[in-house]
Chain A
Amino acid sequence: MSMQHKTALTEQVLLQGSEACVQGALAAGCRFYAGYPITPATEIMELMSRAMPLAGGIFIQMEDEIASLGATIGASLGGLKAMTATSGPGFSLMQEHISYAAMAEVPCVIVHVMRGGPSTGLPTRPAQGDVMQARWGAHGDHPILVLAPSSTSEFFDLTVKAFNLAERYRSPVIVLADEIVAHTRESVILPSLDSLEIENRPKPSVPPEWYSPYRDPGTGIPPMAAFGEGYRFHVTGLMHDINGYPTERQDETEELMARLFNKISKDFHLLQWYDSYCEEGAQVMVIAYGSVARSALHAVRLARAKGLPVGLLKLKVIWPFMRRTVVRYLQSSRRVIVPEMNMGQLSREVKRVNDGACEVRTLNRVDGFMITPDQILKAIEEAMA
């Protein structure tokens, strides 16, 4: 592909998922990328190494993934929209700084292209083994936002939205893709730049001497100045008061923790992003995300052609778990099937919120190969029996 900034395109183009991710980041206003080579996320870094200097942004290859996210957070404190991308082992290394970004409330986007694990595992093979790591991998209690694209166009769309959420909530946001989504080439039509809704972090409107960087303005999300703009303030990973200064006072720590959680949980109803297919009269629902949702859609259509009342719920937000959406389908279905390229991670959440509404079945595959439509069709036929 040409390495030109392609966000103005509205015609049909052939793009790899990784390319769509980079185009989405550019469209969202990303102007800083720090990364470390790792399969199957290296394409994103290589594309960024050309795209960033051309867009007037910064690209830097760091010494490891810890440094990559550290530099990303630093750039965000300097006022740029910033991201990094990695895969399993690198994602493990980033956990320390995901926790930091959550605590210090620094917007940043981490794209994680999942590959087979544990450990070095299957570097060129797909998996979905890091659903729980994305939620609970970083130390300490904190909320997180995780989006899961299932196609090239969704990789573009959800990367844009990831930046928007990061800016809106001053939070790290993870785009949880998998090897198939990142490497598949598809014909897509990217939206025009004008049609995209781009959000930017709230900036302080008060003069510097009135600025408290962590004071709740009522929305739960304090306005964020960049370093060098005349607002001299302190940022720390320690528990802090409204001025950013370290504190161990019970009233201040409790207030901060409550605000960190509430700023996202108050908007759970706005974070129900999903697509549903063939849900009319469906007695069995397949609940899937990522590339598995592609196989699931094909399987559901094959089943419908056979006259089976089956639907698909494709989740685009993984965390916070879309309880209210999922529960609705659990209550209207006789059985639910959760196919995943892991030993059962999101299915645990589905079972947790099920509360006896219906029977939840799992379909798991961890051999480094995709779950095929045939496998899911077979599970559907068994569930209809």
Chain B
Amino acid sequence: MTRPEHLIHRYLRSSKRFPHVWCPGCGIGILLGALVRAIDSGGYSKDDIVLISGIGCSGRLPVYLDFNTLHTTHGRALTFATGIKLAKPNLKVIAIMGDGDAASIGGNHLIHSARRNIDITAIIINNQIYGMTGGQSSPTTPFGLHTASSPFGHLEHPFDISKLVEAAGAPFVARSTVYHARMLEQIIGKAISKSGFSVVEVMSPCVTHFGKWSGMGSAVEMMQWQKDNAVPIEKAREMPPETLQGKIVTGILVDIEKPTFHEEHARISREMRERK
């Protein structure tokens, strides 16, 4: 069996009524492929993977995959992930979110999860717009962009999600585009194996809505834009900040060690019971 066939047969749920919900040209399918390859390469048992999502286009990802899968409420995937990881620390817990999901309605959960440092892999698909609800501005929509909810231009300034979670204390932060699918796969693999709260920001095209409002055009043109504007972190560190305006800095941005909540909790619980 070739590898794609092996991956499809092994990881996609045959019992789920395909086709999937995503539009042609959407980047989420590429992420799904990278995620599956990363998990397969990591040699994890399917029983040990928990895939959790919030609400939005990204929220529909887990149902297609043959893991322990949980589709939660809007913005709250990380809160459920927290409970599962603490209840079953041996499981690999991966939360899939969108930019509106993770950084707007779930922004508080995101920064506190980063601060708390429980071993969860947070994959944030950033397409800079609300896709499922029809193209409204999100917390990562560029300033000035006309959208379904900013018909006269977006009056707010976007979050840099990776910088946000770095400042909040996440010990592993990385960014890729879906164009750079190989890099995306490798980064996800590292994030899953990392002990601690790991964030992977995935720049992904929403052709249907962001493509329409930004005038970028087709899926191919949006991919071309990702290719042309991505700058590896190693190179970006040597560039003057003003030249990075509008660029996508990719690669592993943060990778440090710090104690994790669940390990510290287990240690305290053990010590207190021994003392008793």
Contacts and interface: CB of A to CB of B under 8 A. Distances in A.
Interface in B1-52: 15-17, 46-48, 50
25 contacts: A32-B86, A53-B268, A59-B265, A60-B261, A63-B112, A67-B82, A70-B73, A71-B80, A71-B82, A71-B83, A74-B85, A75-B87, A77-B84, A79-B87, A79-B88, A96-B73, A226-B88, A227-B84, A227-B88, A232-B46, A233-B68, A237-B71, A237-B72, A245-B16, A245-B17
B111 to A, nearest CB: 8
A76 B50 contact: no
Contacts of B87: 32, 58, 74-80, 82, 226
Interface size class of A (residues with CB under 8 A): 35 or more
Q: Dominant SS at the B interface?
A: helix
Contacts, number: 144
Contacts of A229: 47
A291 interface: no
Q: Dominant SS at the A interface?
A: mixed
B51 to A, nearest CB: 9
A82 B83 contact: yes
A54 interface: yes
Contact of B82 (A74, A227, A233): A74
Contact of A67 (B109, B265, B272): B109
B202 interface: no
A66 interface: yes
A77 B83 contact: yes
A232 B66 contact: yes
B249 interface: no
B79 interface: yes
A74 B67 CA distance: 16
A319 interface: no
Q: In the complex, which of the residues B66, B67, B76, B261 has the most CB atoms of chain A within 10 Å of its own CB atom?
A: B76
Given A70-B76, A74-B79, A227-B50, A232 B68 contact: yes
B149 interface: no
A246 B70 CA distance: 12
B269 A53 contact: yes
Interface in A53-104: 53-54, 56-60, 62-64, 66-80, 82, 96-97, 100
B69 interface: yes
